[in-house]
Amino acid sequence: MKYDNISPALFLRRPNRFIAHILHEGEEKISHVKNTGRCRELLIPGANVLVQRAAKPERKTEFDLISVYKGERLINMDSAAPNVVFGEFLGAGGLGAVPEIIRPECTHADSRFDFYFEMGGKAAFAEVKGVTLEDDNIARFPDAPTERGLKHLRGLITCAEEGFDAYAVFVVQMKGIKYFEPNWETHRDFGLTLRQAEKAGVKILVYDCLAEKDSLKIDAPIPYIL
């Protein structure tokens, strides 16, 4: 996944989930935040960020906030990016073969999943979650309670019980992670349901990413602990 028109800025403040005030080339500007999560450990006043100039000059916000430096580590926080990079990874045969069919945003029963695909004659559903929360090189999800995430896990369990391949995919939007685990303190039920999903046959995949200034790409699988 490539980004155009990327430039550095300083994060100043975030008055709401959707916008951030930044210092760009010596001037205070308003940027859209492409992540509605809390991101409190990332968006700290004075943090170095990377922003993308909006393609439409008439837009109210001149920039999109794409990435942030946490110390020396660059973390992509674009919430749309995990689906894009997993779609690229899937289409390139990242799961062992190139699927015959890939369809984004497909509904099964009462759940809407990020991907439906067929590979080796087997039908599968996949739900992708982006991970930006890191502490001491341990990645965790979610950074806030997520009833939507619970619904997706339960839907994947239903898919597995019906004979489909089912995947819960966690895309860690950075490098240097030792392992991934549920964020037990923030949403214990999510962790318990993820355990239940694994026992029901849902495949749990966790990948880190090569996060560069103008690109993001899935790199390698990382361990997880439930």
pLDDT tens, position by position, 91-105: 999 999 999 999 999
**What are 13's two structure tokens?**
């403040």
**What are 96's two structure tokens?**
């062992």
Residue 134: name the closest of 184, 188, 73 by CA.
Answer: 73
Distance between CA atoms of residues 140 and 143, nearest Å: 7
Domain with CATH 3.40.1350.60 in the chain: 81-221
**What are 82's two structure tokens?**
């995990």
Separate counts of helices (H) and strands (E) for the chain: 3, 15
In degrees and rounded to multiples of 5, residue 16 shows phi and psi of -150, 180
What is residue 174's predicted lDDT score, i.e. its pLDDT? 98
CATH code of the domain occupying 6-75: 2.40.50.580
Compute CA 190 distance to the chain's CA centroid, rounded to the nearest angstrom: 16
What is residue 36's predicted lDDT score, i.e. its pLDDT? 82
- Bridge-based pairing of strands 165-172 and 122-131 is parallel
State in words which class domain 81-221 has: alpha beta
What is residue 117's predicted lDDT score, i.e. its pLDDT? 98
Q: What is the mean pLDDT of residues 194-214?
A: 98
The three-class DSSP label of residue 60 is coil
Q: What is the mean pLDDT of residues 60-65?
A: 93
**What are 89's two structure tokens?**
């990874």
Q: What percent of the chain has pLDDT over 70?
A: 100
Q: What is the mean pLDDT of residues 146-168?
A: 97
Asked if 122 and 165 count as a contact pair (C-beta separation under 8 A), the reply is: yes
* Per-residue pLDDT at 181 exceeds 90: yes
Q: What is the mean pLDDT of residues 50-79?
A: 93
Mean of pLDDT over the chain: 96
Q: What percent of the chain has pLDDT over 90?
A: 92
